[in-house]
Amino acid sequence: MIGFWVAGALAVVLVLALLFRPFLLKSSGSGVSRRQLNTAIYRDQLARLERDRAENMLAEADYAQARDELQRRVIDDTRDEDATATLRAPRKTMLAVGLALPALAIGLYILLGSPAALEPSVAQHQVSSQDMERLTAGLAQKLEKDPSNLQGWAMLARSYKMLGRNTEAEQAFERAGSFLDNDAQLLAIYADLSATNANGNFAGKPTQLIEKALKVDPENAMALWLAGTAAFRAGQFESAVRIWERLTQQIEPDSEDGRMLQDSIGAAYAAMGKTAPKMAAKGPIPAGGNTGTPASAGAGASVQGQVELDAALKAKAAPGDTVMVIARGPGSRMPVAVVRANVSELPLKFTLDDSLAMSPQARISAASQVEVEARISKTGMAQPESGDLMSAVQTVKLGATGVKLVVNKIRP
């Protein structure tokens, strides 16, 4: 905002400088007296009389009379006091213009411009969920009148996904048809939606879409992640490891995504009864030692509680946004149980148990304590994203009840 005002002030100064240029650049020695100006005029008139007489356009008597008259005017002029003709700066006018112009510019901007747009916080949250719903509804109406607009259907699908309306998003992707054929990222998003709507089942359509995305771009990160997840859930642990290890080439090992990926690879190795590798900067490298196994807490153990949304953040969550309650082993990024719901269901009572496990090898009953948190996402993606609403992470013992998670902060 400061940059805008500085630029505006410079523009006003430039305009004033151009307006006052004749007064600001005048030279003190450039004044011309009135007598000098009149002498030049008389000299020109006399030359014209001489020329007219030479060309016989003026009779001799008329010439003599005109010359006498001209001489008499010259004599009269010499009797008057001489004065220098100068261009004086109208100081009062300059001052008035100098004050009025900036005031007028600011007034017009306040009246016709958008001062609120200068505030970053206002600009960032300018589009509310209601506005997004309205724009999406308008786009849907236009596409019903022009169903051949395949690019529009793809745009509508992503809009629905942002609103958490996953069923409508999948239907819109289906109508996008051949527009998706050469876009690996859109195919991967479509596959993720299809699997989500099938309660995490990748069989059939989601797997076909993932394979199609990898044919378009064999290194697409989202498609590789989904392909590994599909293989893992199908019990194809060696295949999952191979796919995920390809993905390690694209992800920094110390990043949150890198740690999550390493946890997933570790779970796949553990399912095969092998020691998991550690991820290096350019892929996994063998590492000695044993990853160990968590202590068993007994089958059927769970964590129960309730999720609430802080009143200060209610305006930032739409009813269709996805609420996720996630349990992880301490220090791990691999979830052992996940509950999904909509914001409209808050406050939400939850129970985290083995029925919500992400894989048979990562169960909540295998831990003595877990880290529990709640997150609200507009996209419904498993990975945390900037702008998500989050609760504080709580470490609780297995079997805990009455756990209260308050969503009261925004992920930067």
pLDDT digits (tens, 9 = 90+) for 329-370: 887 777 888 888 889 999 999 999 887 876 666 788 888 889
| Cα atoms in the Cβ-side hemisphere of radius 13 Å centred on 188 | 21
What gap in Å lies between CA 193 and CA 184, rounded to an integer?
Answer: 14
Strands (E), 255-331: 278-280, 283-285, 303-309, 322-328
Q: What is the DSSP letter of 362?
A: B
pLDDT at 88: 58
**Least confident interval from 95-109, 196-210, 359-373, 381-395:** 95-109
Q: Where in the chain are all domains bearing CATH 2.60.40?
A: 303-410
97-103's contacts with Cβ under 8 Å and 24+ in sequence apart are: 97/16, 97/19, 98/16, 101/12, 101/15, 101/16, 102/9, 102/12
**Least confident interval from 91-95, 192-196, 386-390:** 91-95
Fold classification of 303-410 is: Immunoglobulin-like (2.60.40)
What gap in Å lies between CA 82 and CA 226, rounded to an integer?
Answer: 96
Is residue 293 within 8 A of residue 329, CB to CB? The reply is: no
CATH architecture of the domain formed by 129-285: Alpha Horseshoe (1.25)
Portion of the chain with pLDDT greater than 70, in percent: 74
Q: Closest Cα partner for 187 from 160, 162, 224?
A: 224
pLDDT at 289: 34
Q: Which two tokens stand for residue 32?
A: 């011309």
| R_g over Cα of the chain | 41
Question: What is the reported pTM?
Answer: 0.44
What gap in Å lies between CA 341 and CA 64, rounded to an integer?
Answer: 112
pLDDT 10s digits, 262-321: 878 887 887 777 766 555 444 444 433 333 333 333 444 789 999 999 999 999 998 888
For residue 331, give the H/E element and its range.
Answer: none
pLDDT 10s digits, 18-35: 776 666 655 444 455 566
What gap in Å lies between CA 48 and CA 242, rounded to an integer?
Answer: 104
Q: Closest Cα partner for 253 from 277, 229, 223, 219?
A: 277
Q: Where in the chain are all domains bearing CATH 1.25.40.10?
A: 129-285
Is residue 393 within 8 A of residue 331, CB to CB? The reply is: no
pLDDT at 373: 94
